[in-house]
Structure 1
Amino acid sequence: MADAIHINRRVRENAVNLSAALQSHMLKIFAPDARKELRRFSAGEAAELLGISTGFLRKLHFDNRIPDVHTTPGGRRHYSAADLMEIRRALEGTAKTEGAYLKGRRPGDKVQVLSFLNFKGGSGKTTSSIHTAQRLALKGYRVLCVDIDPQASLTTLFGYQPEYDFLESGTIYDAIRYDNPLPFSSVIQKTFFTNIDLAPGGLLLQEFEHETPRALIDNVQPPFFSRMAATLQEVEDNYDVIIFDCPPQLGYLTMSALCASTGVLITVVPNMLDIASMSQFLLMSADLLDVVSNAGASMEFDFLRFLINRYEPNDGPQQQVVAFLRQLFGDEVMVAPVLKSTAISDAGLTHQTVYEVERGQFHRNTYDRAVDSLNLVNDEIESLLQKAWGR
């Protein structure tokens, strides 16, 4: 018993020390009470995001068809995400075809709800989900990120400290709990990133896993697999795309997200240990989905894709694994993989994404390679959304 008490105390001491160190680290990155700010984009980046040439962008300014933007003494223009949205609206107003510059939902289109998931931790779920959210937001889509992982990594990447900001309330748990749930709109936070809102995660989400068995016995309505979908209905008209970052386990939270989803992206690191783990994950998923489907849950997706993550093109064994997956799953494996890149991992050290950091912070080729890889993946996801809307 003495050993158990000692271990308990030591674990708590480690937790307290780590939490204090993390807070100190955050204070070095951000001033007290400050929130993250998104950088401005160069004319080349702005043109690429808008889907026009840099020459046409210059002409738009010359003809006074779009608002002025921040300009350096040397005459270089830099565009905020808000500037890009203003330009989109201006261009859409004179476009020959509807949705040329504002590609989100139209009347009659259902909101697209994407779940990024895998049973194994470290498969790149959070990295993939936030880069997808940010790319879509920069291209004019209204995005809601829903962090249903108790570890709340996605929430942290948006500049929050879940263990301080949402220790007792304010997470998505407040909206899906069985006892006196709050309106979903009350937990949604505006973020520093134009076009992205966040429903934060945090440790309290673990309570949903603990409370659901009792709720099932007591027949609390709606049941766990319907609660997320029912909750989303309150706010879905405000968004084009809703993105779930799921925990690395097939629990009640993940199942509730799946039952609310229209599309599923399973992240895969191409090595045989991860593939074996994914095999177990898929078998378990199929069994559980059968159970909830028989209980009345809707299990129809517009698409399911396997997203290859942390791919090294010159790694022979990885090439073999990817070829194996493509042979097995065909078109369900996404064409574009996310390349393994020091730019992605190094940006994460300061709680940033590749889209947030300045190109000058990295070797030019390293940065460009990472951005090109992520853009190909996220534009492929965008095409799946457009196809689901019948376009």
Structure 2
Amino acid sequence: MAVTQPITINTRIRENAQNLAGALEQHLLKSFAPDARKELRLFSAGEAADLLGISASFLRKLHFEERVPDVHTTAGGRRHYSAQDVLNIRHILEDKAKTKGAYLKGRAEGEKVQVLSFLNFKGGSGKTTSSIHAAQRFALKGYRVLAVDIDPQASLTSLFGYQPEYDFLHSGSIYDAIRYDDPLPFSEIIQETYFPNLHLAPGGLILQEFEHETPTALRNNVQPPFYARMAAALQEVEDQYDIIIFDCPPQLGYLTMSALCASTGVLITVVPNMLDVASMSQFLQMSADLLDVVSNAGARMEFDFLRFLINRYEPSDGPQQQVVAFLRQLFGEEVMTSPMLKSTAISDAGLTQQTIYEVERSAFHRSTYDRAMESLNAVNDEIEMLLQQAWGR
């Protein structure tokens, strides 16, 4: 009788990792052409008008009067717009607008860049889903956006069509711009995306090195210290953007604190059940204690706003309604008015590494798609209002 040889846990985990990586690569090859980058779909006239903040009839009039360029038109006469078409029309309308900033609402000269951190101590709270939909929505509305992935798991980077474990395994991630030993200029790690006006600073597993190297850097008094390195790195490129968005890791480490010290606004995502709320309580207390330490060390701790974003909300769920009411009673206006609904459309889009803004409406049941889209737009439009208020508008 053959004796079964014991297998070491490190060997088995490595085999599992290799098998999973291979399976994921095959899944991507089925979803996207080999060596191809993702492309953004075209938008209907109604969607384009909504993004521009005008009526569909006015958009038709602009075409009829030849005030805007022609776009892709089907045999049946329906116009379809690329994101670049929408941006071009936005610039044309802005040039003719009586009020400056009517169609390009980004920051004016002298106004500071808005830096948002999406964070929570607990995984699965919707940080990446919230941050990527916000970044894409703002870019489609004409803002110049930089998405910064500081999560070693790099889910945000993956959603933009990259394979972090291959594309940025050794170089090219945000780590290279904030590392202690010979950091690269921030501009060298920025990637363009298939969304006009939206760039990406990729994440990757190598970001864990920042967590490991920081204690030694603190002992050796390496400057700037960890809490100031993100802000210092961003200074090189911040004049090119209106909004910078951090997707933070699900832990309160040096990376998260560095992002917080560079931020002007904080959005804490929370799933409305008591276990998550209890976890968030611990997260908030730990955050306050650690931020006290870095504040005493000289870190900037001033924010324009802090909001709790209710995520994965099911309006028909009685216990969730009670938790949301509890949070609103406790935190008042710091709880965002608009929750992000739990939606099969969002999760199904994620199966092909896409967002709701990327998928066609025809790919889902219309009511499911529309409900998800309305929820996302309401959340992001509320965040946009906070940004505008921070600019004094």
The answer to whether 1:257 aligns with 2:259 is yes
Deviation at 1:119, TM superposition (A): 0.1
Letter in 2 for 1:250: L
Residue in structure 1 matched with residue 36 of structure 2 by the alignment: 34
| Unaligned runs of at least 5 residues, structure 2 | none
Residue in structure 1 matched with residue 123 of structure 2 by the alignment: 121
Q: Give the alignment of 1:364-375 within 5 angstroms.
A: 364-375=366-377
Residue in structure 2 matched with residue 234 of structure 1 by the alignment: 236
Q: How far apart are the structure 2 equivalents of 1:380 and 1:278? A: 22
Deviation at 1:3, TM superposition (A): 9.6
Query: Which deviations, in whole Å up to 9, do the C-alpha atoms of 1:187-222 show, x marking residues without a partner?
Result: 000011111100000000000000000000000000
Q: How far apart are the structure 2 equivalents of 1:61 and 1:375? A: 26
Q: How far apart are the structure 1 equivalents of 2:330 and 2:5? A: 51
Question: Which stretch of structure 1 is more off in the superposition, 279-288 or 87-96?
Answer: 87-96
* Superposition TM-score, scaled by structure 1 size: 0.99
Which consecutive segments of 4 or more residues in structure 1 shift more than 2 A? 2-5
The answer to whether 1:102 aligns with 2:109 is no
Deviation at 1:31, TM superposition (A): 1.1
Letter in 1 for 2:114: Q
Residue in structure 2 matched with residue 86 of structure 1 by the alignment: 88
Residue in structure 1 matched with residue 204 of structure 2 by the alignment: 202
Query: Which deviations, in whole Å up to 9, do the C-alpha atoms of 1:226-263 show, x marking residues without a partner?
Result: 00000000000000000000000000000000000000
Q: How far apart are the structure 1 equivalents of 2:253 and 2:343? A: 31
* Superposition TM-score, scaled by structure 2 size: 0.98
Q: Give the alignment of 1:13-92 within 5 angstroms.
A: 13-92=15-94
Q: How far apart are the structure 2 equivalents of 1:163 and 1:95? A: 46
Letter in 1 for 2:74: T
The answer to whether 1:149 aligns with 2:151 is yes
Pick aligned residue for 1:334 from 333, 336, 340: 336
Q: How far apart are the structure 1 equivalents of 2:8 and 2:29? A: 32
- Structure 1 residues 3, 129: CA separation in 2 closer, same or farther (over 3 Å shift)? farther
Identical aligned residues as a percent: 81
Pick aligned residue for 1:292 from 291, 294, 306: 294
Q: How far apart are the structure 1 equivalents of 2:89 and 2:194? A: 19
Letter in 1 for 2:109: P
Deviation at 1:94, TM superposition (A): 1.1
Aligned pair count reads 390
Query: Which deviations, in whole Å up to 9, do the C-alpha atoms of 1:41-69 show, x marking residues without a partner?
Result: 00000111111100000000001111111
Determine helix, strand or coil for the equivalent of 1:260.
coil
Pick aligned residue for 1:306 from 305, 308, 317: 308
Pick aligned residue for 1:321 from 320, 323, 336: 323
Determine helix, strand or coil for the equivalent of 2:284.
helix
Residue in structure 1 matched with residue 181 of structure 2 by the alignment: 179
Q: How far apart are the structure 1 equivalents of 2:284 and 2:54? A: 41
Determine helix, strand or coil for the equivalent of 1:116.
strand
